[in-house]
Amino acid sequence: MSKFIITAFGLLVLLAGVASPQEVVITDFPLGVAGSIGQDVFKPHYAELEAIADTLKKYPLLRAVVTGGADGARYRENHDAKNPSLALGRAHALLDFLIKEFNVDSSQIVIRTEDVKEKGPQYRYAGVRIAGELSDIDSQLSDLRTRVGDLEGRPPVEKHFTEVTQAPPTFIENFGLQFGAGVSSTPFGGTPVAAAAVSLKRIIYLEGMVGHTFWNGTYRFQDTDLDTRRRLLGGHVIIYPREKLPVGIVGGWLRVEEVAQDYYEYTRLSEGLVLGLRATPIDYFSVTAAYNPSKQRAAGKLGSTTENDRFMIYILAHLSFGGAK
């Protein structure tokens, strides 16, 4: 605190050096001349403008007000509204000169205009003044000295710091639920599916999947065409080995049946191991590519001989709840 007060005290002392006002007013602008005026207009006042620029550079907390003025003479017949724009243009002409000639920081400049009804060259002007007068500098310094004296007489303040840490998730908070719906390919064709999974830290998932078609297929059995539908049942374990890589390893078991609607017995069956990868590019969407090495068998046959359509794809949309990472 003492360093802050001493710094403030020094700042006030510095500002006291610029307590006297600085102002330059350039009059007798030609009629109808605004921002396009040449810099020669400002050359006779070069030294005074340079002094103001030096003050602004030395004291970055100071501000300067640039004012442009316009008189009551009409710039063009029936266009009195042109006069305020002339005033603004003259102010900007002076502002541009200060910036380009003396590298004044534009953030220290405030623009204003004045539009009067009287006519005369004294009202066609551009001026700049330092807005940093400190008329009450003595009273401020006295008050500051009093505050410094009071602070020096106080005992030191003991500071206490309390470290706040976020508690890690509990064992229960690490668990989450995920529900999904989509479509899966099977050895017998595409099938709508629904899935539900329990997750641990959103790294390990135990997933169950069911599926069933809502339309009839046809399977020829002993010279008879049977209406069939497909159903699917399976379970997977999905592990995402790297937190920042949205690709997981899939392993599980899958059973796919083509069921005759008249007998509700399967006409074809595929059952076995599933291995693959699951990509989750966004939180609510996944694509799984899996290899299913199981053989297929038809109704009434104990042995499986058919080996085809072993590559499968699941596309699922997900909703996830809970489960801390």
Domain segments of the chain as ranges:
21-132, 175-322
Per-residue pLDDT reduced to its tens digit, 6-39: 545 455 444 444 444 689 998 888 776 554 577 7
Mean pLDDT of 207-221: 88
Top mean pLDDT of 156-170, 210-224, 269-283 is at 269-283
How much is the pLDDT for 178? Answer: 92
Phi, psi of 149 (to 5 degrees): -65, -40
* Weakest-pLDDT range from 110-114, 181-185, 216-220: 216-220
Alpha-carbon distance of 229 to 185, in angstroms, equals 14
- 16 Cβ contact partners less than 8 Å away, ≥ 6 residues apart: 134, 137, 141
Asked whether the beta carbons of 275 and 291 are under 8 A apart, the reply is: yes
Q: Average pLDDT, stretch 134-155?
A: 59
Is the domain spanning 21-132 CATH 3.40.190.10? The answer is: no
Residue 81 has pLDDT above 60, yes or no: no
- The pLDDT, as a whole number, for residue 321 is 87
CB atoms within 10 A of CB 236: 24
Provide mean pLDDT across the span 138-147: 61
pLDDT for the residue 205: 93
In the chain, pLDDT over 70 holds for what percent of residues? 74
Sheet holding 109-115, edge to edge: 23-26, 126-130, 64-70, 109-115
User: Average pLDDT, whole number, for the chain?
Assistant: 80
Residue 70 neighbours by CB under 8 Å, 6+ apart: 83, 84, 86, 87, 90, 113, 114, 115, 116, 123, 124
Mean pLDDT over 92-97 rounds to 89
What is the average per-residue pLDDT within 256-275?
A: 86
Average the pLDDT over 51-76 and give the result.
84
Out of 94-98, 144-148, 274-278, 287-291, pick the least confident. 144-148
CATH of the structural domain 175-322, one choice from 2.40.160, 3.30.70, 1.20.1280, 2.60.40: 2.40.160
pLDDT of the residue at 102 = 92
- In degrees to the nearest 10, what's the CA dihedral of 280, 281, 285, 288? -40
In this predicted structure, what is the pLDDT of residue 129? 92
Cβ within 8 Å of residue 38, ≥6 positions away: none
